[in-house]
Structure 1
Amino acid sequence: MKRTGEIVLAIIAGVINFLALISGVRSVSLNPSALEQQLSAAGSNLSSQDVTNIVHLLHLVGTILVVFSVISLILMIGSLILLKRGSGTKLGGWLLILAGVTSIMEVVPAVLYVIAGIMTLARKPKSNFSNAGI
């Protein structure tokens, strides 16, 4: 059975998820001292402790984004393999829903993964039985 809609939604979500992964890697790889200098030079009324806390928060969010993006991309690739083979479509649907749950920080990919997973689980296989002869 063709699963073009599910595969297209999963690929679109995967591309957006990959862009979020790149964004997370960039925020983790930033030089903390340079970022602290830029925040201090911005002329805001932040204390040095506030600037340090902001930098640590950005690093933490970036790390979490990277970890969950990698996990959801792995789940998406596994589900696409199952959907392309045609065997294990229910498992592929559940993997897409699980990918949506793990990428909950990224709203658009999470919604697309869940929609594709529900579409996979809700589609009924075509029956070979025909009513034409009755």
Structure 2
Amino acid sequence: TFVGSEEPLVLGIVDEFKKAGLKIFGPNKTAAQLEGSKSFAKSILKEANVPTAAFSIVRSLSEARRALVKHDFPVVFKLDGLAAGKGVSVISSCKQAEDYIVNLYKNNSNTKLLIEEFMQGPRILTLQLGRQK
């Protein structure tokens, strides 16, 4: 079996197939977290001393406010987890940041948010089965 989307990989389908003795191609649940959790990926990069943008991981409005003091604008907000390409926002001002985090934590009190240094430069496109991602 070849798994075509990230969600089943993040949920551990490869592990389950292997337990059942079935053939499957893809990363196990732990390895799939590199794609499925931005905070997990950033933590792995930091632990391995791989250069990456400065970041903070927060879970509440008060943590987000405290973390923002450490970052210059623009800043990048990334929702943790699979977001189908819709979980990244470039925030250009204090007001925009405050509006974003207040709205985010109003109904989602424990959402994990990655606040990251904005880095500008050329974007490198990756290919996935012949399609640009």
TM-score of the aligned structures, taking structure 1 as reference length: 0.33
More relative contact order, 1 or 2 (CA 8 Å, 6+ apart): 1
* Higher strand proportion: 2
More helix, by proportion: 1
Higher CA-based Rg: 1
**TM-score in terms of structure 2 length:** 0.33
